C-alpha cells in the first residue's frame, strides 16, 4: 500500500505559507488560532466568510512580504482596516490570508505650507483631524464611523460623509498612494504634484475595494478649518416637506457644508440615547450646516430660513455654541448604534438618487418595508441624495432574513430605476456584486474586469468581490455556506 507523502496532505500548503509568513514578519504578527481568526471572518455587514491566517504587518516591507508569499503559493489575500465596511468588502473568501494594517497607524509627515500629509493606512479618520487640529487644518471626508474607520478603508471604498456635500468625497482629498501590488512589488500612484504626468492610476485605485492591491501610505489633502459655522436643526410634520427643502436650498445656489435628514423613528432612537431635545414628535428633521465668512454665513442662514418657512417648517433651532453643535452631530453620527434601542439587528443600504427624486424614492422605501412587514429607519446625506435606509429586525426570528434581503434588493432596484446608482460610499463588495448588471452592460463589466486583470492577472487580491460571475472565464464566485447570516 502506497503511503501518502506529507506534501500531499490537504493542509501542507497552508503550513508552508504560515511558516513563511512567520519568518517574514514574526510569529507574534501571524494569527492562526481559531478564536483569533474568527474575529476577522466578517466586517460590519451581515456576511461572513473564512480565513486561514491573519497577518498584522507594521510596515510597507512587511505588507509586501506577505503579498509576495501569497503570490508565490497562489493563495488569495484580503486587505483589512478597522472592519467597519458595510458591504462585505473585507469578508475573506476562499480561506484568504487577511492582511490587517491596523498596526500601521502613524502620521508620517505634515506639510502645512502645501496642506498635505503622508499617513499610514491604519490611522483612524478622526485621529488624523484631531492630531492636526492645532494647525487649523482637518481631513474633510467624515464618514459617520469616523471615530473608528481607517484612512486605508476610506481609500478602498472612496468613502463620503456628511461634510462631503461641498468638499467632495475621499477621492477629492487623496493626492498620492504608496501601494503594494498583487505581485508584491511596491509603487507610488499619483504623488505630491496635484497634476502628475501620465494616466491617473491614483484615481483608478481609490474606490477599487482592495482588488488592485494594498495601500500602505496615503498622501492626503488637508483642508483649513472654516472661520465661522452655523448649524441648524429644522423639523417638519411631513417627510416630503423636508425632502423638498433640500432641492430648494441647492436650487437657490446655496451649497451647505452638510445637509442631513433623519426621520421620526431615527429621532426617537437617537433622542433616547443622547437626550439632546430632538423633535421626536416630528416626521423628519434636517441638520444643515453652513460655513465660511461670518457675513456670508449669516446671509445664507437667512435665505435657508425663508425657504424652510415656505415648506412649513415647524421649528428652527440654531446651535448656540460648539458644545451644542457637537451634541447635534453626535446625534446624527450615533444613529446606527442607537438602533439597538428598537431592534438588535439592522441591514443598511447605500444608494444614491437624484435630489429631485428623493421624495418619490423615500415613499417607495416606506412602502417596500411595510409590504415585507419590516420597520425602516431613514438617516442619510440628503444634500447629495445618498440614501441610507436601515431595515430593522431580530435575526432570531424564523424566515426574517429572506424578507430583509428581498426588501433590500427592491430598494436598490427602485433607486436605480429612479436614475440613481448602486452605492454612494459603502462600495459594492459582496452585497451588491450580483446587482451590478442593473447599472452596467456586459461590455462595461468586461472593461472593468480587464482593468482588474491588468493589476492582478491571477485574481488573488480580494477575490469574488464587485464583479459578478462570470466577469472572466476563471472568475467564478462561490460564496461559502453561511456567508449570508
Q: Where are the domains of the chain?
A: 6-100, 107-224, 228-334, 343-417
Q: Tell me, yes or no, if the two domains 107-224 and 343-417 fold the same way.
A: no
CATH number of the 343-417 domain: 3.30.70.2740
pLDDT at 155: 98
Question: Rounded mean pLDDT of 126-138?
Answer: 98
What does the pLDDT look like over 316-331, one tens digit per residue?
A: 999 999 999 999 999 9
Top CATH class, 6-100 = alpha beta
What pTM was computed for the model? 0.92
Cα–Cα dist 456/454, whole Å = 6
Local structure of 158: helix, strand or coil? coil
DSSP string, 61-99: HHHHHHHHHHHHHT--EEEESSS--SSSTT---TTEEEE
Band of pLDDT at residue 2, cut at 50, 70 and 90: very low
Q: How far apart, in Å, are the Cα atoms of 282 and each of 79, 265, 267, 375, 387?
A: 43, 10, 8, 17, 20
Question: Rounded mean pLDDT of 359-365?
Answer: 96
C-alpha cell at 126: 478622526
Task: Let me know how long the chain is.
Answer: 485
Of the listed ranges 44-48, 215-219, 278-282, 361-365, the least confidently predicted one is 44-48
What does the pLDDT look like over 416-454, one tens digit per residue?
A: 999 999 999 999 999 999 999 999 999 999 999 999 999
pLDDT at 66: 98
Our CA dihedral for 172, 181, 423, 483, rounded to 10 degrees, sits at -150
pLDDT at 198: 87
> Going along 8-140, which residue ranges are E strands?
30-31, 51-55, 77-80, 96-100, 107-111, 116-119, 137-138
pLDDT at 7: 41
> CATH for 228-334, among 3.40.50.1780, 2.60.120.890, 3.30.70.2190, 1.10.10.10?
3.30.70.2190
Among 98, 235, 259, 77, which Cα is nearest to 165's? Answer: 259
What does the pLDDT look like over 371-400, one tens digit per residue?
A: 999 999 999 999 999 999 999 999 999 999
Cα–Cα dist 216/313, whole Å = 48
Of 51 and 194, more confident: 51
Q: Does the domain spanning 107-224 belong to CATH 3.30.465.10?
A: yes
pLDDT of 6 higher than 50: no
Residue 432 half-sphere exposure toward CB, CA atoms < 13 A:
28
| Per-position b or e across 343-360, b if 16+ CB within 10 A of its CB | bebbbbbbbbbebebbbe
- Please check whether residue 102 is in contact with residue 149, taking contact to mean a CB–CB distance below 8 angstroms: no
Q: What is the mean pLDDT of the chain?
A: 93
What does the pLDDT look like over 210-265, one tens digit per residue?
A: 999 999 999 999 999 999 999 999 999 999 999 999 999 999 999 999 999 999 99
Q: 154: exposed, middle or buried (C-beta count within 10 Å: 0-12, 13-18, 19+)?
A: buried
What number of helices (H) and strands (E) belong to the chain?
15, 20
Band of pLDDT at residue 341, cut at 50, 70 and 90: confident
Amino acid at each position: 500500500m502506497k503511503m501518502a507523502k506529507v506534501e500531499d496532505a490537504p493542509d501542507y500548503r497552508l503550513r508552508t505559507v504560515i511558516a513563511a509568513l512567520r519568518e517574514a514578519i514574526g510569529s507574534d504578527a501571524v494569527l492562526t488560532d481559531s478564536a483569533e481568526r474568527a474575529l476577522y471572518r466578517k466586517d460590519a455587514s451581515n456576511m461572513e466568510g473564512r480565513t486561514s491566517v491573519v497577518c498584522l504587518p507594521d510596515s510597507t516591507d512587511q505588507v509586501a512580504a506577505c503579498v509576495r508569499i501569497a503570490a508565490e503559493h497562489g493563495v488569495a489575500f484580503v486587505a483589512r482596516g478597522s472592519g467597519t465596511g458595510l458591504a462585505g468588502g473585507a469578508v475573506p473568501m476562499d480561506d484568504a490570508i487577511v492582511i490587517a494594517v491596523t498596526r500601521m497607524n502613524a502620521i508620517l509627515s505634515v506639510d502645512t505650507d502645501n496642506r498635505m500629509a503622508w499617513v499610514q493606512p491604519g490611522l483612524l479618520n478622526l485621529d488624523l483631524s484631531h492630531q492636526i487640529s492645532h494647525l487649523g487644518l482637518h481631513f474633510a471626508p467624515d464618514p459617520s464611523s469616523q471615530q473608528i474607520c481607517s484612512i486605508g478603508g476610506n481609500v478602498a471604498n472612496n468613502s463620503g460623509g456628511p461634510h462631503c456635500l461641498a468638499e467632495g468625497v475621499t477621492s477629492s482629498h487623496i493626492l498620492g498612494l504608496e501601494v503594494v501590488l498583487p505581485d508584491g512589488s511596491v509603487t507610488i500612484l499619483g504623488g505630491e504634484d496635484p497634476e502628475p504626468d501620465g494616466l491617473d492610476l491614483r484615481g483608478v485605485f481609490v474606490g477599487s475595494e482592495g482588488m488592485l492591491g494594498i495601500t500602505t501610505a496615503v498622501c492626503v489633502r488637508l483642508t483649513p478649518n472654516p472661520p465661522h459655522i452655523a448649524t441648524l436643526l429644522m423639523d417638519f410634520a411631513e417627510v416630503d416637506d423636508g425632502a423638498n427643502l433640500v432641492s430648494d436650498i441647492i436650487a437657490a445656489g446655496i451649497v451647505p457644508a452638510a445637509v442631513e435628514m433623519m426621520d421620526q423613528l431615527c429621532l426617537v432612537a437617537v433622542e433616547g440615547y443622547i437626550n439632546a431635545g430632538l423633535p421626536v414628535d416630528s416626521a423628519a428633521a434636517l441638520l444643515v450646516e453652513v460655513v465660511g465668512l461670518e457675513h456670508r454665513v449669516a446671509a445664507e442662514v437667512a435665505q435657508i430660513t425663508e425657504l424652510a418657512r415656505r415648506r412649513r417648517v415647524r421649528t428652527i433651532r440654531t446651535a448656540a455654541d460648539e458644545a451644542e453643535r457637537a451634541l447635534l452631530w453626535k446625534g446624527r453620527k450615533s444613529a446606527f448604534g442607537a438602533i439597538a434601542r428598537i431592534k438588535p439587528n439592522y441591514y443598511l443600504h447605500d444608494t444614491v438618487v437624484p435630489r429631485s427624486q428623493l421624495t418619490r424614492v423615500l415613499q417607495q422605501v416606506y412602502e417596500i418595508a411595510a409590504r415585507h412587514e419590516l420597520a425602516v429607519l431613514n438617516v442619510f446625506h440628503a444634500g447629495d441624495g445618498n440614501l441610507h435606509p436601515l431595515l430593522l429586525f431580530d435575526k432570531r426570528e424564523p424566515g426574517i432574513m429572506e424578507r430583509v434581503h428581498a426588501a433590500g434588493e427592491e430598494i436598490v432596484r427602485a433607486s436605480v430605476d429612479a436614475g440613481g446608482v448602486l452605492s454612494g460610499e459603502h462600495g459594492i463588495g459582496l452585497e451588491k456584486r450580483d446587482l451590478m448588471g442593473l447599472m452596467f452592460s456586459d461590455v462595461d463589466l468586461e472593461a472593468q474586469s480587464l482593468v482588474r486583470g491588468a493589476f492582478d492577472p491571477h485574481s488573488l487580491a480580494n477575490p469574488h468581490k464587485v464583479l459578478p460571475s462570470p466577469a472572466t472565464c476563471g472568475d467564478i464566485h462561490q460564496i461559502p455556506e453561511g456567508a449570508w447570516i
